[in-house]
Amino acid sequence: MRIPAFGAFASVVLAAAVAQGATGVILADGSGAGDADRGSVARGLERGADTLQSLSLPAVGEAWLSTLRLSPCTEASSAVDLNAIVTAARQQITMLAAEEAEVALEQAIRTLPCAESPVPTADLLAAFEVLGEAAQVAGHEGNARFAYEGLLAVEPGYTLTSPPGTGYEELYNTVRRSFVNQAQSTVGVRHGLAGGVYWDGAAVDPATRVPLTVLAGRHLLQWDAGSGLVGAWVELPAGGEAASLVWGPDRTALLAGGLADAGATAAIAPMLRAVATEAGVDGVAVLPQAGATSGYLVTMEGTQPWASASVAVGRAMAPDRVRLAVGAGYANLQLTHYGDITAAVDVRLVGPLHVRIEGDLALSQPLDGRTEGYADQGSVAVLPGVGAGIVVHPVRGLIQPFGALTAGVWIGAKDEDAAAALDAALAATGRTMSDVDRAKFDARHAVDFRGFIDGGMDAVPLGGPLVIRVSAGVGLGMALTPDAPVGFQFRAGAAVGLRLGAGRRAKGG
């Protein structure tokens, strides 16, 4: 069975020359997208339809679509009793016929893709181990290193079975220290073969949710497409680059299913990145079928879902530059209750990072001794406040949770006259101010530092300009005087506002 190089698979038929920075658009069945579908993708990606290029993928037969180099069996299938060959090689080594053992094992390993039954992982490991030992005894250190690298590629934590002191472990440990420290690669394998697929002797689930995580080197791939077992050595280069192995007839179902889990993403992303590179575009957007209003995009930097703005305004809405909000709530400042009128301006700096400038007008009842029971009675006391800091929240979505850190001041006035009047009124009736009320008076200063950590969410109905905000926060406050005590502060409230400076959504055609 012929296994094509990925370059052949990625031969993309372009309707026109692809401009610099263009993104390709395909349907899951490999056909090119029409104008309506390109318009849907344009709205979902918030870009002009003229930056999207319809691509089509060639039909594929019963073969692997791989971003890796595969070396298939070139001979007739045969029964390979690898365990027997390894046992014989061990005996040859003890009989000082290490070179014969080395040749026999090299031949056996080279023809493993032609085995008519799955090669057990344990036999594969033993073959590489004994090959390394035979090469060492024969004085072929390069071949021994190559064998040990093959062994570690299959099982990075492998421990030699030879008795300590035989001398094999010194070279093996040297190879292991350098080999296993390299970056591992993820390999997305996706197939629908009822006969089974085997990677280094281990069965691979047809739709595994977890990609293979392996070291560079040679790996044995075997599969049964219905007419008997077929195999190939897979060459995985060093560097930790993600790779993909997809059974050709299952490509459409895989692309239609999309980025459903880590296993599917690992199979799709390297494949479409190779397509993008071959076509000269910066990424590939996929529609599960013609007329779909959502799909996904694969670029060299990552993957992301998209949805047409006509059906998912929260995902496709344009981010704003400035956000204004006014509201009211409750505040407790150094154990005193306040009503809190608020206003805030958020300005986006980059990505989800914003700077916030806020103002408060806290209102409370001051102590007044002119009425019976004096506590918390009298005219309203006003405590203005200002602050500034940073806010982090997503720029798209109908619900945008946020976190904020701000610092500022409360600007008040210590009411010495009210305290003296209260003392006089109380003295006339033979009473004195309670310790609690005295502490409330003493806590008031002309200027108090404040710092808040707030959390909440902004709701953006239908992705429009309106913002509805709920939030709560805790903080600390203290007078800007020596030895001033630090007091606990709390606030919570709701606000409404507007999003300003949002760009228009891209128009598709």
Residue 416 has a pLDDT of 58
User: Between 98-110 and 141-154, two packed helices, what is the crossing angle to 10 degrees?
Assistant: 40
Per DSSP, helices labelled H in 280-387 are 313-316
Per DSSP, helices labelled H in 27-66 are 35-45
Cα–Cα distance between 507 and 23 in angstroms, integer? 15
Cα–Cα distance between 70 and 454 in angstroms, integer? 56
* Residues paired with residue 288 on neighbouring β-strands, in sequence order: none
Cα–Cα distance between 53 and 17 in angstroms, integer? 9
Pairing verdict, β 353-364 and 322-333? unpaired
Q: Tokens 């190939």 label which residue? A: 232
Q: What is this structure's pTM?
A: 0.60
CB 215 within 8 A of CB 148: no
Residue 9 has a pLDDT of 44
- CB atoms near residue 210 (< 10 Å): 12
Query: What contacts 266, CB < 8 A, 6 or more positions away?
Result: 186, 187, 188, 211, 242, 244
- CB atoms near residue 322 (< 10 Å): 14
Residue 165 has a pLDDT of 78
Residue 389 has a pLDDT of 96
Residue 14 has a pLDDT of 40
C-alpha distances (whole Å) from 407 to each of 451, 455, 476 are 4, 15, 10
Q: Tokens 């001041």 label which residue? A: 409
| Domains contained in the chain, CATH given | 73-179 (1.25.40), 319-500 (2.40.160.20)
List, for residues 81-128, the tens digit of each pLDDT value: 899 999 999 999 999 999 999 999 999 999 999 999 999 999 999 999
CB 73 within 8 A of CB 32: no
Pairing verdict, β 336-350 and 353-364? antiparallel
Residue 392 has a pLDDT of 95
- Average pLDDT per run of 10 along the chain, which is 509 residues long? 44 39 92 90 87 89 90 85 94 94 95 94 96 95 95 94 86 92 92 93 91 94 91 92 93 94 94 94 94 93 82 63 96 85 95 95 66 46 89 90 94 63 68 62 69 95 89 87 73 95 49
* Three-class secondary structure of residue 85 per DSSP: helix
- What are the b/e assignments for 469-481, b being 16+ CB within 10 Å? bebebebebbbee
CB 439 within 8 A of CB 388: no
Task: Supply the Cα-derived Rg of the chain in whole angstroms.
Answer: 36
Per DSSP, helices labelled H in 10-64 are 35-45
Token digits of residue 392 = 């982090």
Pairing verdict, β 202-203 and 197-199? antiparallel
CB 340 within 8 A of CB 330: yes
Handedness of CA 203, 75, 82, 174 (dihedral sign): negative
